[in-house]
Copies of this chain bind each other. A is one copy, B any other.
Amino acid sequence: MALLVGRHVNKIDKKGRVSVPKSFRASFDGQGFSGIYAYPSFKFPAIEACGEAFMQRISASLEKMEMFSEEQDDLAAAILESAHALPFDPEGRIVLPPPLLAHAGIDGEALFVGRGAQMQIWNGDNYEKHRQQALQRARSRGATLQLSPALPTEGPS
């Protein structure tokens, strides 16, 4: 699956529709459901979204954790319960439900942020503040990254 990277700003029209960037959309097709799953982020005033494949992973993780970590259980459960399945229209647009818009403080414009396998949808101003803080923390920490070992070309992670 192609990676989701970068940022894209798209407009929300009067009917509440917003185009999902083509490059993101491309990552989600061929997953059974033509659309995305969106749910409010825990940590940020933002919407998190992913395709069906990733949602399956979340669901699977939930089942695994159940008997061990109550916290994880709550967390994953909250994701599934607050998630919305948002189908693409023929032009590749979705309609973000009011509760999600409210949570992220989005109105008029939506900022799509690629996070690898998932994406986030932000209010532009809120994201900028968040980003500055994140970069600040990264710099003060010395900006090193412990990379996972190289994948063996294509093995199952």
Q: Is the pair A134, B5 in contact by a Cβ cutoff of 8 Å?
A: no
Among the stretches A12-20, A50-58, A88-96, A102-110, the one at the interface with B is A50-58
Q: A78-B134, A115-B77, A139-B42 are in contact. Are A83 and B6 (CB under 8 A)?
A: yes
Note all chain B residues with C-beta closer than 8 A to A143: 42-43, 75
Cα(A134)–Cα(B81), bound, Å: 11
Select A116's contact among B58, B72, B149, beta carbons within 8 Å. B58
- Write the A1-37 contact mask toward B (1 if CB under 8 angstroms, else 0): 0111111000000000000000100000000110001
- In the complex, how many angstroms separate the beta carbon of A36 from the nearest chain B beta carbon? 11
Given contacts A2-B32, A71-B138, A80-B115, list 18 more A-B pairs with CB under 8 A: A3-B52, A3-B56, A3-B59, A5-B84, A6-B85, A23-B85, A56-B151, A58-B147, A59-B116, A60-B116, A61-B146, A61-B147, A63-B116, A63-B117, A72-B145, A78-B131, A79-B145, A83-B114
9 sample A-B contacts, Cβ–Cβ < 8 Å, listed by A number: A42-B138, A42-B139, A53-B151, A59-B117, A60-B157, A63-B116, A78-B138, A80-B116, A83-B114
Taking Cβ atoms with an 8 Å cutoff, the residues of A that contact B are: 2-7, 23, 32-33, 37, 42-43, 52-53, 55-64, 67, 70-72, 74-85, 113-117, 131, 134-135, 137-139, 141, 143-151, 157
